[in-house]
């Protein structure tokens, strides 16, 4: 079956990024046949260019494509490193360098930031996506494509490869 909006897609993939030293690529993430990536195609859950690259594929097809950083998680933004006051962490475990913090903005949007350093009056947190500034290389295959069931369409996401995953 061909990929179409409002269809559930299950696929395998290996995701590679360039090594920082310029020596080829490293595998950073995989989805296997036993644990595929399953999503509602066209629902805005995936990177738009990722879905665009898959748009002509059908069950059983293989893919191998690259997304430039600008089409993936964006370029790295030096201004997205913020200093959070140490007082924010009173009564909680104080974060260490490298910790990933769950954060929320004034509008209630949730996101994450990684602690990059502890300074005298604050905690420096990198708010860039961990893959910002990196070109992505995907290799994989389409395992299954099926029409989404009414509940999946109502909820706006896939309920697993077979559609039976409840909430």
The answer to whether the CB of 137 falls within 8 A of the CB of 17 is yes
What is the Cα–Cα distance from 20 to 135, expressed in whole angstroms? 12
Closest by CA to 63, choosing from 48, 74, 52, 73, is 52
Strand partners, 67: 136
Q: What domains are there in the chain, each with its CATH number?
A: 7-73+131-155 (3.10.50.40), 78-126 (2.40.10.330)
Tell me the H-state helices in the chain: 48-54, 150-155
85-135 pLDDT per residue, tens: 988 887 777 889 999 988 888 888 888 899 999 988 889 999 999 899 999
Q: What pLDDT, in 10s, does the model give residues 40-79?
A: 999 888 999 999 999 999 999 999 999 999 999 999 999 9
Residues shown for the chain: 167
pLDDT at 52: 96
Read off the DSSP letter of residue 34. S
């Amino acid at each position: 079956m061909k990929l179409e909006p409002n269809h559930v897609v299950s696929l395998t993939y290996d995701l590679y990024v360039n090594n920082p030293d310029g020596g080829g690529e490293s595998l950073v993430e995989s989805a296997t046949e036993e644990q595929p990536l399953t999503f509602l195609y066209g629902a805005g859950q995936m990177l738009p260019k990722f879905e665009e690259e898959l748009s002509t594929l059908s069950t059983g097809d293989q893919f191998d494509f690259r997304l430039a950083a600008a089409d993936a998680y964006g370029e790295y933004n030096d201004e997205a490193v913020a200093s959070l006051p140490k007082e924010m962490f009173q009564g909680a475990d104080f974060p260490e360098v490298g910790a990933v913090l769950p954060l929320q903005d004034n509008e209630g949007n949730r996101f994450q930031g990684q602690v990059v350093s502890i300074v005298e009056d604050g905690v420096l947190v990198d708010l860039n996506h961990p893959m910002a500034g990196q070109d992505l290389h995907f290799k994989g295959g389409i395992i299954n494509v099926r029409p989404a069931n009414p509940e999946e369409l109502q909820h706006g996401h896939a309920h697993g490869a077979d559609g039976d995953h409840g909430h």
